[in-house]
Structure 1
């Protein structure tokens, strides 16, 4: 007997401002917002870089602070009328410093890439040598891609991972550092699922006289929840995003010691950015406050537990899981044992309502899949649901027609914004 899907419920639209006003004023955009709310509620959102913010974060994003132009820093703005919004930035900075144990924080970067750009601007000159994880091993575009400013402005050397274990080859990193004498070494990745050894990178950087820059865009939320090592004591500068596991608004931040504070601030404004987005900074402050609570600590550890169960389940279904698992929210898998490359597998999963990304695999010509458990954990899913998700992966890739229905039914049991 065919399975009949339950009628789709009306999704809750957690707008920061008056959604009814939007619907009256611009029904076309209101329809887009409703459709996106439905898409998020009806599928499994497993993109590793995404999460669901709280209603409080959304409220700050949709607040009157969006109206204020605020070039400069608190107490030294280039526009009048900033006395009130200065308070939001001071709160955000103080909360970020307390959350991560940093002497200085800059919360103005508009994105993670903007934070990395500012860090490079503060520490490097065009033409300097830069050592970072190679893109095939999981490095980011800002770590030396030829289509990115980093690959055009700097002499970038990429380090990789061991062919058998999939883990960072620290002997190779040390050898490359001694050979190329980089001005800075970057530790961080968009698809490396294990904790880096920050102390080892610090020792290598000290040996060759390099700055150590940690791109912690992915693990910084786990750091906030005590579920990952903190790079702040080891790195000269830490670049991060405020979304992903940290569950704040889309944006970036920089953490550093007091001796680099002025250089970092001037690299953000006026060198790489103009006016600060005060509504986003206020939303960052809300997220930092949420991340300091015990509930967030429990959440961060649940994210990791869920990722480990999901990785084990995918391995049992026949996927190859590089490094044998994960320490973080990130999982990378090779679907080739199932007769699929990453792009075809992603398309089949998307048709079933499972949303994720492809990624480079360190060895071989194919692409793998990259997924994360931050969003589904925010929805309230636990280990039992992760075991079910692994089974649904296999069902979708085998082309079973009921996979999409079962994905939808599971997702609807855990609405991102209930009520």
Structure 2
């Protein structure tokens, strides 16, 4: 019995020692690793819950904004987004007592992230492990509790802001009605899913004045005549897919990012869960932040800035998708060129024009270029977790250009959708860089 008592005493001493207050607790969190880990967990949940690309962009943006607002409280060189984003009212938070701001930022991120998804327990478990590690490292109990409380106050303000963006109302809007008009989008094999988020242009943007502020030129006039421009654009896709090089196939698969990929084996149909385009670019943002050696505040800025650009990009893109409601290459080619033809990638369930990857990638690239400059080496390991190899780029714009042309290699977009989408994304990225201010210098930079 005495041995058991001694063991219990030793364990109590270990626990007590582990929870001793650390006078140097400010050094527990210095870089952005905790925030990046939280963002990666959010990606896992987005994939698990199978959120669409537009909805995923919303899930990434709001938690990142909450974390950044704490950074702005901690450091006066950062500029709050309150009063800059559409409808984001300014409030004051009490910060007179000692606050551990990196912990507060993490608490804000976790609370908003949890409010955005279905599988709350997955985020909650991840948060508890992170908080336990921080507390065990010696952050004083009162400071810990006060910091979490502040982070959750900021989170509550961001959550209230998010509830006014028309997302919840849009859940009850009418579904997209497929028509028999020859030029219009039709559900595609193998699942023939209904059109995703046909009313996303009714979501409040962060910075744009309206969803159609950067309206693209319309698609080429529809025609089935072999000598027409539209037919030639379809042939371009047809021949591109039929003559892909191994490198082009790799590019197509690397940038697939289709959370709706469905596999069919015999009579069995099952989904293959994948990262979204926005998730890929948030991953690139995290990689860039880590590569640049940013502290936690710089990481919060990078995630928020990228998230804002992606959110508005999907609103702008989806506005055009359901305005033109154009037929996909797969449908057209099967009907008018080759009924047995298959694209490299599975066609996602929404209209053709413009390309979501083209818009989102170029908007994110411009935002990240503003933060980190050019050239900036990127070791993009985002897709490794999903069975794909690393790809390397010398700049964000180079990565965006590859993501853009990947849609031709994938056989899921005509070239006008790709080119006009890239143009729209760049214009939006320039607009974000002009419109929002996150730091006093706000020039291309790498955090020291």
TM-score of the superposition, structure 2-length normalised?
0.24
The structure with the largest strand share of the pair is: 1
Q: Answer with 1 or 2: which has the greater Rg.
A: 2
TM-score (norm 1): 0.25
More helix by share: 2
